[in-house]
Structures are given as structure tokens and as C-alpha cells.
């Protein structure tokens, strides 16, 4: 009988950090059943119920361990989201080390896989005589940017947003400085330094697993995997996304409404697991959706001026209280508004959904691609603007609204884009390209597909490490 290969997987706190690594673990053990995954969970307070739900019904060869949670009092109140997440990882290192050592004493770990915010967990690899892998949950464009950042940091002086020319990374769509992630926008800020430090760690690991697929980002992937690039091996193994809905009760209510709508007629509107809009922006979005005359399904959160405000959990307010007066009544035939959370996969899979107004989080991006749903790209934070550039300028499967000078997307602009996507000629072209991309994403995951083959290469490397080859 073949020896079991143990892998430790360590995500950083946050729903959209944990789920991709869990889905990756599921795919790994499904394709390579002789692997055993130990999933080690770092959390701020207790993990949200949406995350806990996912830990039920895991295959027997995935085991999970909760480290003692870090409390919000342990973290600086005014620190931004990325800093809080990374500090939670730092503070969890002693208990993490304890778990890893105890695991390694029982069975040798072939590799530790972490996400980019949990790279400090890799500081134990030498001691444990194991391999270091990063699961990069965004796409190849963002990975390429991160791998090049230490060089760009040296080559470009001043702020990136002030550089007049677009940055041309090998094989990638050109990027303007203003499209780069928020922490990159201010060199004097602590989060810039932390971001830069994280990108340097990417350069020193045994392998980088990227949640993309060759057919989608071929040139970018090729450029990074060439030996001359000097980067660690890059393995495109995606698209890996949520495999199921996690909110059955609300699910049935949502789906019933969608069942009564014509095919491809509904625009799904959602800003990820924690994206929020300001009150003014909620008003404009409501106005735009109503004005468009198109059917919509909107997952609404209470307003905040910090766009990632609900990422680590939201308050108790009822989001529906923040809609313009009379909106729900006026649009009761046109739309469905659900507070805070909806079963996104089931919605995107529904035949009545014909468009997705999305904040372009990478998971939402891939889920939309897998379901062949064209997008309106409305990035908020993190690397979402880069994803929006890839979707609009690179893959041409999305429309992007113009943001006015006051930072707001106005209702008229929203209405124009929604109509164009849902019933215009441009929308038809975009939909056609999205269908092709959907087929390519399906192929990548087939038994002989590019991403399946790549994951087998990784599995072999891990087994060889275990066997001392």
C-alpha cells in the first residue's frame, strides 16, 4: 500500500482566504487520495458561521485544527484590514509552531502550503525539513505584479500612481499605477512595507500555486514559468472555487424568485464577502438599477466609508433601512434585495442570471467565468482594480463604469452600463467571449486538462520530497 503523504495547509483569517485553501485541499485529496491534509485555522475572534459551515462534511483525509483565536483587542484598532490579518498570523505563530511540530513528530510533513498573508508560517520549514508552498489565491496578473514588485520598487521613484506610462509586466495587460492595490499607493505607509515584504517572500519558496489556468492567462503564466525569469516554479492549478452553496434557507427564497424570471434577464449585484459602499453610493446604485429597467438581484450591506468594512464581520443594522425611500416598493416587480449574504454559486448557476455587477474579488471573478456570466467590473479594494483591468482590457468579458470626480459612480452611468450588458450589442459580444472562457475553464479541470496535469506535477514533487528523492 502506498504511504500517506501529509500536507499542512495554513490560511490567514477571512472567509475568502480560508475557502479557496479548503477547496484546494478538497481537490488535492480527490485527485490524489493518498494525501492527507491537516488544515490549521488562524482566526480573529471566532470564525464566521459562513466559514464554519464549510468545515462540515469534509472528506476523511482532511482534518482541521483551530488555533486559539486572536481577539480584536489584541490588534491595533486603526490598522487596516491587511495589517490586522497579518498581525493575527504573527500572534498565532507560537501555537502554530506547536501544532506543526507535534504533527511532524507523528508523521513527516511533505509540504506546508500557506496563503500570501500567512507566509510567516513558512519560517518553520527548515526545522521541519519540509517544502514551502504558497497558494496564491489571485490570478497570474497579480502574481506577476507581486513577483516584480521588489524590482519595480527599486526602479521607480515616487508614487506609482504618478507614473504617467502604464507598467508593462511580461505577458500581461498594461497597468496604470492607480490600478495597483491600495497598500501600494503610499510608500511611506506601514502596509506598503508589509506588502513589499510579502512579495519578497514569494521569491524564496519552493513553489507558487496560482488560482488561474493557462488558457486564460497564457502569456503571463509563460513569462513567469520561463527558467530565465528567476522566479520559483509557478503552478497554475485553477480555477478552484467554492463547490457549493452554504445558505440553504435563504437559498431557497432567492432561488424561488429567480425561478420566476426569464432566462438571462437578471443582473446579480454583489461586492463579495465584505465589500461595502458609502450611503451616497448606495443611493446612486439604487437609482441606476431602477433607471436601467433591468431585473436585478442585489446583495446589500449597511453603508460604510471603508470599502472593506464588513470583511471580518458586519454590525447588526438592517441593510434594507439604508435604501432610498420607496425604492423597495417601486422595484418590487423589477428586483430582489437580500441583506448581507446570498448563495452566490447557486445564483450564478441559475439560468435567469445574465450578468454580474461585481467588486472583482478573484473568487467572484472565477465563479462568474465558470458559470459563463459576463460582468460589470466595480472594484473596491485589495487587487480588485487589477482584476478589473484584466477582465475589461485583457479578456474583454466585462464593462467598467466611469467613476466621477467625487469618487462616486453615478446612477445614469450605472443604468447605461447595465442596459448595455444585459441587452446591448456590446453585451452580446462580451457574453460570447465569456462563454468561450467558461468552456476553457471547464477543460482546464478535466482529467487531462492543463490544471489537473499541473497539480499532478506538484503532487509528485511532494511525494518525492517525502521519499527523499
- In the complex with ligand UDP, which residue's Cβ is closer, 110 or 209? 209
Query: What is the C-alpha separation between 344 and 328, in angstroms, rounded?
Result: 21
To the nearest 10 degrees (0 to 180), the angle between helices 362-371 and 15-31 is 50
Strand, helix or coil for residue 390: helix
- Segment lying near ligand UDP (by CB under 6 A), choices 146-154, 182-190, 342-350, 405-413: 342-350
Contacts for 386 with CB less than 8 Å, ≥ 6 apart: 141, 142, 145, 175, 179, 180, 181
Q: Tell me which residues in 220-249 interact with ligand UDP (CB under 6 A).
A: 242
Q: Is 368 in the site for ligand UDP (CB under 6 A)?
A: no
- Segment lying near ligand UDP (by CB under 6 A), choices 122-130, 290-298, 359-367, 405-413: 359-367
Q: Is 181 in the site for ligand UDP (CB under 6 A)?
A: no
Q: Tell me which residues in 9-48 interact with ligand UDP (CB under 6 A).
A: 15-16, 19
- In the complex with ligand UDP, which residue's Cβ is closer, 232 or 372? 372
**Cβ atoms within 10 Å, residue 31:** 14
418 closest CA partner among 405, 408, 427: 427
Q: In angstroms, what is the minimal distance from the CB of 271 to ligand UDP?
A: 7
Q: Is 367 in the site for ligand UDP (CB under 6 A)?
A: yes
- In the complex with ligand UDP, which residue's Cβ is closer, 275 or 374? 275
Contacts for 116 with CB less than 8 Å, ≥ 6 apart: 134, 136, 137, 146, 198, 201, 202
Contact between 335 and 295 (Cβ < 8 Å): yes
Q: In angstroms, what is the minimal distance from the CB of 438 to ligand UDP?
A: 16
Binder among 5, 25, 130, 270 for ligand UDP (CB under 6 A): 270
Binder among 117, 213, 298, 341 for ligand UDP (CB under 6 A): 341
Q: Is 84 in the site for ligand UDP (CB under 6 A)?
A: no
**Residues 190-213, buried b or exposed e (16+ Cβ, 10 A)?**
ebbebbbebbebbeebbbbbbbbb
Marked catalytic residue, from 6, 17, 36, 148: 17
C-alpha distances out from residue 274 to 254, 268, 312, Å: 20, 16, 7
Q: Is 314 in the site for ligand UDP (CB under 6 A)?
A: no
Q: In angstroms, what is the minimal distance from the CB of 344 to ligand UDP?
A: 3
Phi, psi values for residue 395, rounded to 5°? -85, -20
DSSP letter at 244?
A: S
- Segment lying near ligand UDP (by CB under 6 A), choices 54-62, 76-84, 267-275, 404-412: 267-275
Contact between 407 and 431 (Cβ < 8 Å): no
- Residues contacting ligand UDP: total by CB under 6 A: 19
Q: Is 272 in the site for ligand UDP (CB under 6 A)?
A: yes
Q: In angstroms, what is the minimal distance from the CB of 7 to ligand UDP?
A: 22
The three cell numbers locating residue 438: 467558461
- Segment lying near ligand UDP (by CB under 6 A), choices 84-92, 118-126, 193-201, 358-366: 358-366
Query: What is the C-alpha separation between 361 and 366, in angstroms, rounded?
Result: 9
Question: Which residue's C-alpha cell is 448606495?
Answer: 282
- Segment lying near ligand UDP (by CB under 6 A), choices 64-72, 140-148, 273-281, 440-448: 273-281
Residue 350 a catalytic site member? no
Residue 287 a catalytic site member? no
- In the complex with ligand UDP, which residue's Cβ is closer, 13 or 232? 13
Binder among 181, 274, 288, 449 for ligand UDP (CB under 6 A): 274
C-alpha distances out from residue 437 to 244, 432, 447, 459, 461, Å: 21, 9, 18, 27, 30
Marked catalytic residue, from 6, 32, 36, 115: 115
372 closest CA partner among 402, 395, 341, 401: 395
Please give the positions annotated as active site.
17, 115
Q: Which residues bind ligand UDP (CB under 6 A)?
A: 15-16, 19, 242, 270, 272-275, 299, 341-342, 344-345, 361-364, 367
Amino acid at each position: 500500500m502506498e504511504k500517506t503523504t501529509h500536507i499542512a495547509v495554513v490560511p490567514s483569517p477571512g472567509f475568502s482566504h480560508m475557502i479557496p485553501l479548503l477547496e484546494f485541499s478538497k481537490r488535492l485529496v480527490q485527485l490524489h487520495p493518498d494525501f492527507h491534509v491537516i488544515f490549521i485555522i488562524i482566526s480573529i475572534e471566532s470564525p464566521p458561521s459562513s466559514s464554519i459551515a464549510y468545515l462540515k462534511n469534509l472528506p476523511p483525509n482532511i482534518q482541521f485544527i483551530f488555533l486559539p483565536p486572536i481577539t480584536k483587542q489584541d490588534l491595533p484598532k486603526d490598522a487596516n484590514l491587511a495589517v490586522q490579518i497579518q498581525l493575527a498570523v504573527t500572534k498565532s505563530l507560537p501555537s502554530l509552531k506547536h501544532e506543526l511540530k507535534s504533527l511532524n513528530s507523528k508523521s513527516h510533513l511533505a509540504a506546508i502550503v500557506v496563503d500570501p498573508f500567512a507566509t510567516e508560517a513558512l519560517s518553520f520549514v527548515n526545522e521541519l525539513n519540509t517544502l514551502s508552498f504558497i497558494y496564491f489565491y489571485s490570478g497570474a496578473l497579480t502574481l506577476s505584479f507581486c513577483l516584480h514588485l521588489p524590482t519595480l520598487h527599486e526602479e521607480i521613484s515616487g508614487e506609482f500612481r504618478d507614473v504617467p506610462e502604464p507598467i508593462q509586466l511580461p505577458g500581461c495587460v498594461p497597468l496604470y499605477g492607480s490600478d495597483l492595490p491600495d497598500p501600494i499607493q503610499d510608500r511611506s505607509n506601514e502596509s506598503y512595507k508589509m506588502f513589499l515584504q510579502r512579495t519578497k517572500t514569494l521569491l524564496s519558496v519552493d513553489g507558487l500555486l496560482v488560482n488561474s489556468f493557462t488558457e486564460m492567462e497564457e502569456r503571463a503564466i509563460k513569462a513567469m514559468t520561463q527558467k530565465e525569469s528567476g522566479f520559483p516554479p509557478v503552478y497554475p492549478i485553477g480555477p478552484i472555487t467554492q463547490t457549493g452553496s452554504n445558505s440553504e434557507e435563504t437559498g431557497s427564497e432567492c432561488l424561488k424568485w429567480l425561478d420566476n424570471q426569464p432566462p438571462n434577464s437578471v443582473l446579480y449585484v454583489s461586492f463579495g464577502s465584505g465589500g461595502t459602499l458609502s450611503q451616497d453610493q448606495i443611493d446612486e446604485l439604487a437609482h441606476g438599477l431602477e433607471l436601467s429597467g433591468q431585473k436585478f438581484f442585489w446583495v446589500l450591506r449597511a453603508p460604510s466609508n471603508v470599502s472593506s468594512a464588513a470583511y471580518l464581520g458586519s454590525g447588526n443594522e438592517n441593510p434594507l433601512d439604508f435604501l432610498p425611500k420607496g425604492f423597495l416598493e417601486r422595484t418590487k416587480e423589477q428586483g430582489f434585495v437580500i441583506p448581507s449574504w446570498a448563495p452566490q454559486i447557486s445564483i450564478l448557476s441559475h439560468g435567469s442570471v445574465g450578468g454580474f455587477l461585481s467588486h472583482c474579488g478573484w473568487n467572484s471573478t472565477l465563479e462568474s467565468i465558470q458559470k459563463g456570466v459576463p460582468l460589470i467590473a466595480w472594484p473596491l479594494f485589495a487587487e480588485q482594480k487589477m482584476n478589473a483591468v484584466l477582465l475589461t482590457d485583457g479578456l474583454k468579458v466585462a464593462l467598467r463604469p466611469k467613476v466621477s470626480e467625487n469618487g462616486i459612480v453615478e446612477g445614469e452611468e450605472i443604468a447605461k452600463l447595465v442596459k448595455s450588458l444585459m441587452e446591448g450589442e456590446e453585451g452580446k459580444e462580451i457574453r460570447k467571449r465569456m462563454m468561450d472562457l467558461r468552456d476553457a475553464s471547464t477543460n482546464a479541470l478535466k482529467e487531462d486538462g492543463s490544471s489537473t496535469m499541473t497539480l499532478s506535477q506538484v503532487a509528485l514533487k511532494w511525494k518525492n520530497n517525502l521519499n527523499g528523492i
